[in-house]
Amino acid sequence: MSTLTPAEARSSVPAPHIRTNGSRRRGKSRMDPTRNNTAAGIAAWLLALLFAVPVLWMILTSFHSEVDAATNPPSLAADLNLDAYKEFFGATSGVSPWPSLINSATASIFSTVLVLLLAIPAAYALSIRPVKKWTDVMFFFLSTKMMPVVAAVLPLYLFAKNVGALDNIWFLVLMYTSMNLPIAVWMMRSFLAEVPVEMLEAAQIDGASLLLTLRKVIAPVAMPGIAATALICFIFSWNELLLAGS
């Protein structure tokens, strides 16, 4: 039997929680992240649409005749046809584009593979064995990329002529490799530097060699960086025209 008086019993009962305006504001603030995410998603879609408009316009223009495509201002009501595609695929000109496309793809793919085979070990060495003033080393790599290609066309042409490498696709592969190797080392060094040191130490404790660590531990972790570097090198090789046309 309780010994509390009625007044004491009433005072011991907890007061009911009253929802104040401050708690309502806090409740609304907890909903703000969802609204922010929605707004960010809408903004991202609008930005993507903005960047997609030129691409869509180029695709639409490819179905117009040469006169309609050069009309200023452009017209969306122009007649659509396949004349440009027929000319590209040789239906009207009689010149097939496939040999040129195959040569470009071959040079780009092989040069990209060769760049990765050389850049990954170099970047791996620079990431696990930092040298003094490594930033200067990286800028030295990039300095070779700063030379305009047009300045090297004539010397390379004379060299290829003297060694009998004119119209040789493998000489073009070597040129693309030397052009893309600096930027590939720069990019791969940044990606490999983010690999946790604990993973390297664990591999060393297990007795793995540097090559095995690179192949079994580093490469799978850095695969996004390898893919990005490969894509950049392929695009640079595919878009190159001066050396390929010399």
DSSP string, 24-82: HHHHHHHHHHHHHHHHHHHHHHHHHHHHHHHHHHHHHHTTS-HHHHT-SS--TTSPP--
Q: Give the least confident one: 57-66, 72-81, 175-184.
A: 72-81
Q: What confidence tier does 241 reach under pLDDT thresholds 50, 70, 90?
A: confident
DSSP 8-state assignment for residue 13: S
Mean per-residue pLDDT, 201-210: 83
> How much is the pLDDT for 44?
92
Whether 142 and 183 have beta carbons less than 8 Å apart is answered as yes
> How much is the pLDDT for 62?
86
Mean model confidence pLDDT for the chain: 80
Q: What confidence tier does 191 reach under pLDDT thresholds 50, 70, 90?
A: confident
The closest alpha carbon to 200, from 184, 221, 186, 185, belongs to 221
% of residues, the chain, pLDDT over 70 = 84
Handedness of CA 180, 185, 190, 196 (dihedral sign): positive
- pLDDT tops 70 at residue 24: no
Whether 221 and 200 have beta carbons less than 8 Å apart is answered as no
> How much is the pLDDT for 52?
93
Ordered structural domains, the chain, with CATH? 98-245 (1.10.3720.10)
Q: What tens digit of pLDDT does each residue of 105-157 get?
A: 999 999 999 999 999 988 888 887 766 776 777 777 778 778 788 888 888 88
Distances (CA, A) of 180 to 35, 185, 193, 205: 44, 9, 20, 35
Q: What confidence tier does 97 reach under pLDDT thresholds 50, 70, 90?
A: confident
Q: What tens digit of pLDDT does each residue of 27-66 get?
A: 444 556 677 788 888 999 999 999 999 999 888 888 888 8
Q: What confidence tier does 6 reach under pLDDT thresholds 50, 70, 90?
A: low
Whether 233 and 112 have beta carbons less than 8 Å apart is answered as yes
